[in-house]
Amino acid sequence: MIARLVDATEGFLERRGIAAPLMMVRGDGTLVTARFARARPIETILSGPAASLVGARYLTDLDDAVISDIGGTTTDIAVLEGGRLRLDPEGATVGGQRTMVEAVAMRTFGLGGDSEVSLQERSLTSAIVLGPRRLVPLALAAVEHDDAVAKDLQRQLLKPITGRLDGRFALRTGVPDRLAAGLTITEARLYASISAIPAALDELLMSTSQVATLNRLVARGLVHIAGFTPSDAAHVLGRQANWDPVAARLGAELFARRRDGQGHHVAKDADTFSEMVLACVTRRSAEAVLETVFAEDGLDGGVSVANPLVQRAVRQRRGMARLSIVLDRPVIGLGASASLHYAGLPPLIGNDCHIAEHADVANALGAVVGQVRMSAEARVSQPEIGLFRLNSGERLDDFDTEDEAMAAAEAHVRILAASLAERAGTDQARIETVRQVKVATIEGERSFVEAIVVATATGRPRIAS
């Protein structure tokens, strides 16, 4: 996949006569040449989010912050410490598995502008639930299929009772037919009845069991569900104007008409319900930030956020004891909808929320301002008294004194780091070395145990000649 991406990009540059070196972002936010990335493609894991964090640092000039990037499907949160991204010591997590590839320490939540809006079932009060599934916003579905979407929404509004399937549509994703192989008879039959035009679920599904069948088609990537999302709520309130506000309002009216366990309407009108949805996005965003910082403090983030005292603080519930939470650093909000969803964040986290003017392009900016940074490591041990052994990659040498071994280790890793940095794309790297020496005191005398010497070479990429 990386090879195809590099080939396409290099071809694009060549056709336009652009001779600039092609660089790629690694998972730790640093840059490497396309050739380097071809040889070690796994190191580009999480490169997109990492680039956004580097861009956020540049835009705000903050050294310590929590960076929260809200998109259409997910919210990605990471910590900025001393001007650098905090890396995951155990490697990036992909598909629930540790990769052992160094990358930014990031927590991902199923919360975004296109998150599914639903109501908590089996409750006296109908609390709003967001995500984690992504839906096609009604306002977006209506842009290309206005008649089909608006007509069905208006028909559903004329019914005396709003059903659970009202305001929901199914449409094909457009993937090749060969990817639909292996469907069961019931799945194939339902899939055949779905087309590229949104079909209202209350007419498409004939039984409750078909809901599970439809969900399996969605999981296979064959079908999209269109429904009400926070993006629709923003269109209803005039805070977003990309797509069709009429379909969004019809969807909000359907939700507002639904009744809770006490028989009361969920909201008095479409505007009120949309306000509730956007407030829920802000609150869930605060909970995601708090879950991240609790985990950074060594706590169980999810359990801590669910604590009734934390919930009272986040939901700003009044009582004889007033509770609040104060972060030790501000939040940097990224994403095209950050200004909308994070405007009400400061009171919930007890600190500022900085939203840069160009936060929507922080990802691209991070790729531009990033630097090449490569590290090399050597280990010095004492396998027996009076023998100091240097071990680094393929090199294994013995020395008579600790000073000789340490000096050789430092010289060796500096050469290695400089060589790696040159391969990664910089000609003028500055090199810093760090020593971590472990010693023991035995009968009042210092005894060398082990030392690790790390050299880090940092520099800007080469420029076109």
CATH number at residue 440: 3.30.110
Q: Is residue 130 domain-shared with residue 18, that is, in the same domain? A: no
What integer pLDDT is reported at residue 314 of this predicted model?
92
Q: Is residue 93 domain-shared with residue 152, that is, in the same domain? A: no
- 460 Cβ partners below 8 Å, 6+ apart? 371, 372, 426, 428
- CA atoms of 434 and 341, how far apart (whole Å): 42
- Domain membership flag for residue 106: yes
What integer pLDDT is reported at residue 177 of this predicted model?
85
- Domain membership flag for residue 31: yes
- Domain membership flag for residue 183: yes
Last residue of a domain, one of 279, 307, 326: 279
- Domain membership flag for residue 301: no
C-alpha angle 33-37-40 in degrees, rounded to nearest 5: 140
Where do runs of H (alpha helix) occur along 47-124? 47-60
What integer pLDDT is reported at residue 465 of this predicted model?
57
Q: How far, in Å, are 244, 277, 363, 428 from residue 247 at the CA level?
A: 6, 16, 32, 57
Beta-carbon neighbour count of residue 45 at 10 Å? Answer: 21
Show the tokens assigned to 330.
């501000």
Three-state SS for 370?
A: coil
Q: Is residue 129 domain-shared with residue 273, that is, in the same domain? A: yes
Rg of the chain over CA atoms, in angstroms?
A: 27
- Domain membership flag for residue 257: yes
C-alpha angle 123-129-133 in degrees, rounded to nearest 5: 135
- Domain membership flag for residue 32: yes
Tell me the β-bridge partners of 142: none
Q: Is residue 86 domain-shared with residue 58, that is, in the same domain? A: yes
What integer pLDDT is reported at residue 125 of this predicted model?
67
Q: How far, in Å, are 115, 156, 230, 403 from residue 239 at the CA level?
A: 17, 26, 11, 66
What integer pLDDT is reported at residue 401 of this predicted model?
95
User: Count of domains in the chain?
Assistant: 3
Q: Is residue 269 domain-shared with residue 386, that is, in the same domain? A: no
Q: Is residue 161 domain-shared with residue 251, that is, in the same domain? A: yes
Show the tokens assigned to 18.
């652009």
What integer pLDDT is reported at residue 124 of this predicted model?
61
- Domain membership flag for residue 312: no
In terms of residue numbers, what domain contains 265?
115-279
User: 């010095």: which residue's tokens?
Assistant: 380
Q: Is residue 134 domain-shared with residue 198, that is, in the same domain? A: yes
- 177 Cβ partners below 8 Å, 6+ apart? none
Last residue of a domain, one of 336, 368, 400: 368
What integer pLDDT is reported at residue 49 of this predicted model?
85
* Helical axes 245-257 vs 270-296, angle rounded to 10°: 90
Q: Per-residue DSSP letters for 266-287?
A: S-SSHHHHHHHHHHHHHHHHHH
Whether 378 contacts 452, CB under 8 Å: yes
Q: Per-residue DSSP letters for 1-42?
A: -HHHHHHHHHHHHHHTT--PPPEEE-TTS-EEEHHHHHHSGG
Q: Is residue 80 domain-shared with residue 107, that is, in the same domain? A: yes
Rounded average pLDDT per 10-residue block, the chain, 465 residues = 94 94 92 93 89 91 94 90 85 77 88 94 77 94 89 95 93 91 95 96 93 96 97 96 95 93 87 97 96 92 93 88 92 91 94 88 90 94 93 91 95 95 91 94 88 95 74
Q: Is residue 259 domain-shared with residue 137, that is, in the same domain? A: yes
What integer pLDDT is reported at residue 262 of this predicted model?
78
Q: Is residue 218 domain-shared with residue 98, that is, in the same domain? A: no
User: 């603080």: which residue's tokens?
Assistant: 313
Q: Is residue 445 domain-shared with residue 350, that is, in the same domain? A: no
- Domain membership flag for residue 153: yes
Last residue of a domain, one of 279, 308, 332: 279
Number of H-type helices and E-type strands within the chain: 17, 21
Q: Is residue 127 domain-shared with residue 274, that is, in the same domain? A: yes
